[in-house]
Every structure is written in structure tokens, then in C-alpha cells.
Structure 1
């Protein structure tokens, strides 16, 4: 068993040493504290190209956010932890959002537009990109089995982090991790 651990450590060291993008993951990993201890950071992994819908029923996709860091939050109107978490996502967008970073919400499953709009209004969040995955296709393809789940995508659109459960995304710890990931 010990040789397997040594090989895994060697592979990890070689991967991070040879891949500058992965070095950002190492820097971010070192900053994980508080709710961010639940954040799993990893080498970039492609996200399936599955269509979503906007609140106006127009076809949308996560591909439209390529070129910036994206925090994608999978949630539902019936999810109590999602209700607690949503204001911190709105605050994070307000503090870090811009040309290089965006928070995107994806209502997973059967969430009617009126219920989504009511949920967001009650949470005091009206400025987040709100998409829908009404049949759960993207959620299934990405292995989302519970809610909330938040996924971090790099500018190429690949997943580099995942946090299962709710978190305070506007905390100093969360902003530190995200800032380290986004560092050039």
C-alpha cells in the first residue's frame, strides 16, 4: 500500500510542477478555511455541453461564460440550505463580479419560473445569471445528486472545484480562495 501512496504523491507533485494552471489550484488549496474546507479542488475536468434554459425559455449554455472564471451554483426553490446560501452568492457577485468572474445559478429540476423569481426576490438577489436545467440533464451529466452544489469553472470552461452543501460564498475565506484561483 505504501508504494501506491508514494506513486500518487509523485504523480501529484509532477502534475502540479509541470502545469502552471494547477499551481493556482495549489495556492488556492492552501487557503481553504471555514466553509471552504468543504471545497474540493482538482485538475481541470471538461464540463458536458448540455443545453440549459433562461427564465425566458431561451436556450442558454455554460459555454457563453467561457473566458471568465464562473461559480456555478446548482439549487432548487424547495431547498432550505439554498435559501440560506443564495444571498452570499449575490453578495459575491456584487464584490467580485465583472469581466473576469461571474456567479451563475442553475435551478435543477422542476422549478417554475414564477417560483424562481419569487425565491430570488425573497432572498434579495436580483442580479445573478439565472438558468434552468428543467429535466436535470446537466445535473445528471455532472454527477449532481444533492443540492446545493457549487462548481468552479476556469476560463476554458473546465471544472476545477466543487463544494457539496451550502457555504458563505462572500466570506473572506471564499474570496481568498477564488482570488488565488484567478491569479494570473
Structure 2
């Protein structure tokens, strides 16, 4: 009887909270690099911060409201960041039609010519090049080292975080993201 009550309680809890059900399903799929992906118990607010693009035009994460966002904090001088960036670019192409946007934010001192050169060297075609020149967003979100990638739900809240680099275009990463975007089973 006790086992039945645990199953019943879990089913009711997940059914009452679709976002938690999505995260639970996605978390169950983590393998490989995705084992480092830590899901929050509940979505966390993301602070507003002024970002700019390479032409110094103001940008905001609000531009991606309504989509799932893979938000990557990186820097030109960060070797693991440089290693994972091509996988993020491929992920952006693979999941663009599935409601997932990949957004990169160069945080701290990253000269525009260095960002442009790096994007050209590795043939970036699918990623926006945003900057957080004073690390305001990174600090407000508790980004202490690089790279850090956070997953934002369509409401713009952080639901998961991965510290370190990962193969974001792997089959496992895609399965985790598809579980999130699929929503709860009916």
C-alpha cells in the first residue's frame, strides 16, 4: 500500500506541475556530457541586463521569449568555450525548427575583432554574437567560471545549468532538449 501511495503522490505532483514533469522526463535522459546538466527544483528568475551585439546595438534576452533557450556564457580566451562553440552552432541549426534557440553571450573583456575572427575561423553561421562587456548578466546569474550554459523555459526562467563544456549537438543533448520542448504527456 505504501508503494502505491508513493507512486500516486508522484503522479499527482507531476501532473499538477507540467514544468516539473518536463524537467523530470528530461533529467531521466541525461547521459554523457549531459550528466553535468543540473535541473532546478523550480524555475529560477533571470535578471534583466543590458546586452549588446557586435555593432554595440542594445539586445535583450526578451527577444527569445516564448522559446526554449540554450544560453551559453563564453569568452574568446576560454579554451573549453572555444572547443564547445562549434557544437552549439550545430545545435542551433538542428533545433531551430523545434522551438529551441541557442544564444551565446561573450562575457567580460572580449574585443569585437577577436569575436569576429573566432566566429569566422570556425565558420559560425547560426549563433547570435551578443556581449555582456561588464559581466552584469553573468554576475547577476552567478556565473563564476566559463563556460556555463543555462536552459531557459519559454517564460524566460532558468530551469537547468551545465558548468563546463559539452557536446551540445550530441544525440543525448538533443533528446534532453526535445523532452523539455515536448511538454507533459497527456
Instruction: Normalising by structure 1, report the TM-score.
Output: 0.90
In structure 1, how many angstroms separate the alpha carbons of the residues matched to 2:125 and 2:28?
A: 33
**Local SS of the residue matching 1:140:** helix
In structure 1, how many angstroms separate the alpha carbons of the residues matched to 2:98 and 2:105?
A: 20
Aligned twin of 1:41: 39
**Local SS of the residue matching 1:35:** helix
Aligned twin of 1:81: 80
Q: 5+ unaligned residues in a row in structure 2: which ranges? A: 1-5
In structure 1, how many angstroms separate the alpha carbons of the residues matched to 2:51 and 2:97?
A: 22
Aligned twin of 1:32: 30
1:23 matches 2:21: yes
Q: 5+ unaligned residues in a row in structure 1: which ranges? A: 1-8
**Local SS of the residue matching 2:97:** coil
Report Cα offsets for 1:3-60 as digits up to 9, x if no partner. Answer: xxxxxx9xx9575452111100000000000000000012211100111011110111
2:75, 2:110 within 8 Å by CA — same for their partners in 1?
A: yes
Report Cα offsets for 1:107-128 as digits up to 9, x if no partner. Answer: 0101011100111112221320
1:25, 1:41 within 8 Å by CA — same for their partners in 2?
A: yes
**Local SS of the residue matching 1:49:** coil
Aligned twin of 1:6: none
1:65 matches 2:72: no
In structure 2, how many angstroms separate the alpha carbons of the residues matched to 1:158 and 1:29?
A: 17
In structure 2, how many angstroms separate the alpha carbons of the residues matched to 1:99 and 1:114?
A: 32
In structure 2, how many angstroms separate the alpha carbons of the residues matched to 1:165 and 1:73?
A: 10
Instruction: Quickly say closer, same or farther: Cα 1:69–1:146, change in 2 above 3 A.
Output: same
User: Over aligned residue pairs, what C-alpha RMSD do you find?
Assistant: 1.6
Instruction: Quickly say closer, same or farther: Cα 1:122–1:144, change in 2 above 3 A.
Output: same
**Local SS of the residue matching 1:135:** coil
In structure 2, how many angstroms separate the alpha carbons of the residues matched to 1:97 and 1:41?
A: 22
**Local SS of the residue matching 1:97:** helix
Instruction: Normalising by structure 2, report the TM-score.
Output: 0.89
How big is the shift at 1:182?
0.5
In structure 2, how many angstroms separate the alpha carbons of the residues matched to 1:15 and 1:116?
A: 45
How big is the shift at 1:97?
1.2
